[in-house]
Amino acid sequence: MAKAKAVKEVSMEEALWKSADKLRGSVEPAEYKHVVLSLFFLKFASDKFVKQRNSIIEKYGEKFADNIAFYTKDNVFYLPEESRWSYIISQAKQDDIALKIDTALFTIEKNNPALKGALPDNYYSRLHIDTTKLASLLDEVNKINTDDEENDIIGRVYEYFLGKFALAEGKGKGEFYTPKCIVNLIAELIEPYDGILYDPCCGSGGMFVQSIKFVEAHSGNKKKVSIYGQEYTNTTFKLAKMNLAIRGISANLGEMAANTFTNDQHKDLKADYIMANPPFNQKEWRADTELIDDPRWNGYEVPPTSNANYGWILNIVSKLSQNGVAGFLLANGALSDDGTELKIRQQLIENNLVETIIILPRNLFYTTDISVTLWVLNKNKKACDVEKNGETVHYRDREREILFMDLRQMGSPFEKKYIELTEEDRAKVTATYHAWQQKGYEETYQNIPEFCYSASYDEVAEKGFTLVPSRYIEFVNRDENIDFDTKMKSLQSELKELLVEEEKSKADLLEVFRELGYGIEL
């Protein structure tokens, strides 16, 4: 029986992917995202430019249409003729289209200091892509409606492409794209409304984008947040610059892509908020004799060469301002490591820095199924009144306390293989955390078995300064709450019936065997 085939809606990401897939053979699959995203950038920048140009003409008249100042004041790139998307599209079928794209990108970068080092240099010419393939890709990119600010197009495209390659590429490189729900959770916990925001290993800048969205969503002023970041991988560094530029977020990502430990780009920075997802359990991150006297370890033991986890933690601690808060992810192992790590951890706890330890469910990441920990460190756990986004918050003194949370039983399935923390999940976590932080917490906060527990310094010391949440949060044995009597009674009556039936059926059976001529003697 022939069935009418349902027409399947092809999403924008899928269409893009398909056209990028046409490049197969001429371009390494790992390069697709660079090929596509740069074109994408061009289209995006161009659309913004056209929009701005039209509004300038409307407001001030034709003669100001090419006045660059009117563009830069709104974080829009001014594009000369050869950099405009309309021009590229009109030339799409030409033999030298690759060169034209390179020229367009080069011109944009030259005219806009914010993009210095961000755009690919002579990239398309060197790829030697078949012109027809490139043209069809341009065609596909041309279909994208960049006006849809609601849906964060560039983020979606990037995420999609990274997801597609995550297995092949991300894992080998140890690059993990932080899922949106985790970044949201961190932002909702530390509330970066105003001040300096820093990410020592910012990747493509996802944390920044998400926190700016958070500020906007809570009707804060994003101009009050200044962004500092650093990234080690050069191509990712470029992506970050593009990613931020496209969204009109100005950021200081340092002079160049560089190693945060050996070539700190923000030496004297004191940040009010730090968000990070550093690479986990990096081995040999410094040589034996390297970075021994680094000021970032002041007051602590030197983190061992075998694992960079505590190097990242101390880097973060050293960059926190007087009232700074940091939320970052680390491998679960860091909660209970022995040796030097234990000494550093004990010192951190004694210095009243550790505010909350949250263990997250497995399967949140694209590239690995491990469960990870979200640490929140707070430089100021004393009682104080702080103005947050127009409201005064009354914090209580929590210097000798740590809040533990276990989210391993939370999350909803997402794209079959993965788990995501839903908005309700996150709301529950942030509400618990904020209630615990504030005055009147006796009324609003309580320990909940298998979810949260507020531990005192003494309890933590007694357990040898381990920060594993399940060592503190109570487990409920559900067997204790079973209604034994009711269940037993129902089984009693069911089995009675069965046994009576059995007697009768046994007699019948013996009869059958007898009739068949094989009588059974008991």
Partner 1 sequence: MESSYKLLGDYIRPVDIRNKDLKISNLLGVSIGKCFIPSIANTVGTDFSNYKIVKQGQFAYGPVTSRNGEKISIALLKGEDCIISSSYTVFEVTRKEELDPEYLMLWFSRPEFDRYARYRSHGSVREIFDWDEMCAVELPVLNIEKQRKIVKAYKTISDRIALKQRLNDNLEATAQAIFQERFASFYSYDDLPAGYSIVNLDSLCTIKGGKRLPTDCELLDTPTEHPYIRVRDVGNSRYICLTNQFQYIDEYTHSAISRYTVDTNDIVISIVGTIGLLGKVHHSLDKANLTENCVKLTDVHTITPDYLYYTLCYKKQIKEIELLTVGAVQAKLPMYNIQSMKILVPPAGIMDKFQMDMEVFNTQIEANTIEIQRLYDLQNLLLAKLSD
Please select the residue that binds partner 1; options are 478, 517, 521, 522, rule is CB under 8 A. Answer: 478
Could you tell me the two tokens for 438?
Answer: 């504030």
**183 CB burial (10 A radius; 0-12, 13-18, 19+):** buried
Query: Nearest approach, Cβ of 334 to partner 1 (angstroms)?
Result: 9
CA distances from 173 to 176, 236, 279, 297 (A): 9, 12, 10, 27
Distance of alpha carbon 49 from the chain centroid: 30
Could you tell me the two tokens for 175?
Answer: 């690059």
**105: three-class secondary structure by DSSP:** helix
For position 491 contacting partner 1 by CB under 8 A, the verdict is yes
Please select the residue that binds partner 1; options are 42, 88, 212, 335, rule is CB under 8 A. Answer: 335
Please select the residue that binds partner 1; options are 62, 288, 293, 480, rule is CB under 8 A. Answer: 480
Query: Nearest approach, Cβ of 272 to partner 1 (angstroms)?
Result: 30
For position 167 contacting partner 1 by CB under 8 A, the verdict is no
Give alpha helix (H) positions in 299-357. Answer: 309-318, 340-350
Query: Which residues in 361-380 contact partner 1 (CB under 8 A)?
Result: 362, 368-372
Q: What is the DSSP string of 127-189?
A: HT--HHHHHHHHHHHHT--TT-GGGTHHHHHHHHHHHHHIIIIIHHHT--PPPHHHHHHHHHH
Measured between alpha carbons, how far apart are the two ends of the chain, in Å? 59
For position 10 contacting partner 1 by CB under 8 A, the verdict is no
Instruction: Work out whether the CA dihedral 508, 511, 515, 518 comes out positive or negative.
Output: positive
For position 280 contacting partner 1 by CB under 8 A, the verdict is yes
Strand pairing report for 271-276 and 384-388: unpaired
Query: Nearest approach, Cβ of 505 to partner 1 (angstroms)?
Result: 5
Burial per residue of 486-503, b for 16 or more beta-carbon CB atoms within 10 angstroms, e otherwise = eeeeeeeeeeeeeeeeee
Query: Nearest approach, Cβ of 490 to partner 1 (angstroms)?
Result: 9
Binding mask 281-320 for partner 1 (x = CB under 8 A): x---------------------------------------
Cβ distance 265 to 294 under 8 Å? no
CA distances from 165 to 28, 138, 414, 437 (A): 11, 21, 18, 41
Binding mask 240-269 for partner 1 (x = CB under 8 A): ------------------------------
Closest to partner 1 by CB, 282 or 321: 282
Closest to partner 1 by CB, 136 or 466: 466
Consecutive H or E run containing 387: strand 384-388
**Residues touching partner 1, count (CB under 8 A):** 45
Binding mask 451-470 for partner 1 (x = CB under 8 A): -----------------x-x
Kindly tell me the number of DSSP H helices and DSSP E strands found in the chain: 18, 13
Strand pairing report for 354-359 and 401-406: parallel
Cβ distance 18 to 8 under 8 Å? no
Query: Nearest approach, Cβ of 371 to partner 1 (angstroms)?
Result: 7
For position 475 contacting partner 1 by CB under 8 A, the verdict is yes
For position 503 contacting partner 1 by CB under 8 A, the verdict is no
Please select the residue that binds partner 1; options are 86, 250, 456, 505, rule is CB under 8 A. Answer: 505
**Segment lying near partner 1 (by CB under 8 A), choices 2-10, 100-108, 184-192, 480-488:** 480-488
Neighbours of 266 (CB within 10 A): 18
For position 431 contacting partner 1 by CB under 8 A, the verdict is no
For position 447 contacting partner 1 by CB under 8 A, the verdict is no
For position 502 contacting partner 1 by CB under 8 A, the verdict is yes
For position 6 contacting partner 1 by CB under 8 A, the verdict is no
For position 414 contacting partner 1 by CB under 8 A, the verdict is yes
**Segment lying near partner 1 (by CB under 8 A), choices 2-10, 169-177, 451-459, 475-483:** 475-483
Query: Nearest approach, Cβ of 501 to partner 1 (angstroms)?
Result: 5
Query: Nearest approach, Cβ of 345 to partner 1 (angstroms)?
Result: 15
For position 65 contacting partner 1 by CB under 8 A, the verdict is no
Cβ distance 296 to 314 under 8 Å? yes
For position 58 contacting partner 1 by CB under 8 A, the verdict is no
Strand pairing report for 372-378 and 320-331: antiparallel
For position 389 contacting partner 1 by CB under 8 A, the verdict is no
- Summarize as ranges the residues that interact with partner 1 (CB under 8 A): 280-281, 331-333, 335-336, 362, 368-372, 408, 413-416, 450, 468, 470-471, 475, 477-480, 482, 484, 487-488, 491, 494-495, 498-499, 501-502, 505-506, 508-509, 511-512, 516
